[in-house]
């Protein structure tokens, strides 16, 4: 599993001439890093003098960030596996008309799945942004820049995941599916960009 590699091993995998893992897995990793930073700032706030009134909220933030991090770690592998499934479908035999139809069906099924995985990553990352925003607004001020990096990493994860959605939609023939996912992607992109500005406005350095 990719998530079990060392940092160095993972970077070497990304840098190789294999197309997977690629940008989708990196997007998931970026969001997982953002969740980790969010956890850190929340944990640096819990039990600290002067933050008693937000302790319960920060405990909830830390728990939510932990759950999202777990989902995102799984997504690192899920994205790569989804791409590999498409490649496997492309390599299916296409000698007869029946084989050609079956191959096309499998390709289209794979492409849809390959679009849904980064969509989930983008949705997870938006939630991480909101949690990181809470740590910036209410958390330990000595770690405010760590929370800010969490916001920015999560924003980048959203936009990166959306690019992976867009490229897969180009070859999906189901227009109803394409239109639905395109609308969701557009909304997520707008939300990520606007919320980043709003959440970072709480920082005064």
- In sequence order, which residues have a C-beta less than 8 Å from that of residue 88 and are 6 or more positions away? 110
For every one of its 205 residues, what pLDDT tens digit does the chain have, with 9 covering 90 and above? 898 999 999 999 999 998 889 999 999 999 999 999 999 999 999 999 999 999 999 999 999 999 999 999 999 999 999 999 999 999 999 899 999 999 999 999 999 999 999 999 999 999 999 999 999 999 999 999 999 999 999 999 999 999 999 999 999 999 999 999 999 999 999 999 999 999 999 788 7
Identify the architecture of domain 23-200 in CATH.
Up-down Bundle (1.20)
Tell me how far apart the alpha carbons of residues 125 and 173 are, in angstroms, rounded to a whole number: 28
Look at the block and give the residue holding tokens 């690629």.
22
**Tokens standing for 45?**
């706030």
Closest CA to 24 of 67, 89, 86, 66: 86
- Residue listed under structure tokens 């296409």: 94
Domain spans, the chain: 23-200
In whole angstroms, what is the distance from residue 76 CA to residue 67 CA?
A: 15
CA trace torsion 90, 96, 99, 103 (10° rounding):
30
pLDDT value of position 105: 96
């Amino acid at each position: 599993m990719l998530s079990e590699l060392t940092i160095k091993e993972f970077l070497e995998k990304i840098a190789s001439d294999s197309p997977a893992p690629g940008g989708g897995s990196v997007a998931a990793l970026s969001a997982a890093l953002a969740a980790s930073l969010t956890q850190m700032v929340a944990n640096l706030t819990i039990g600290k003098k002067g933050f008693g009134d937000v302790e319960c909220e920060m405990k909830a933030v830390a728990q939510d960030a932990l759950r999202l991090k777990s989902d995102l770690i799984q997504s690192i592998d899920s994205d790569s596996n989804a791409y590999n499934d498409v490649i496997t479908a492309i390599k299916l035999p296409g000698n007869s008309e029946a084989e050609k139809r079956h191959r096309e069906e499998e390709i289209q099924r794979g492409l849809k799945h390959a679009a849904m995985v980064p969509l989930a990553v983008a949705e997870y990352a938006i939630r991480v942004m909101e949690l990181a925003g809470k740590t910036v607004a209410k958390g330990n001020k000595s770690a405010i820049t760590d929370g800010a990096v969490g916001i920015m990493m999560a924003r980048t994860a959203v936009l990166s995941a959306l690019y992976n959605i867009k490229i897969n939609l180009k070859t999906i023939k189901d227009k109803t599916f394409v239109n639905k996912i395109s609308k969701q992607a557009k909304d997520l992109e707008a939300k990520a960009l606007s919320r980043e500005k709003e959440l970072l406005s709480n920082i005064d350095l």
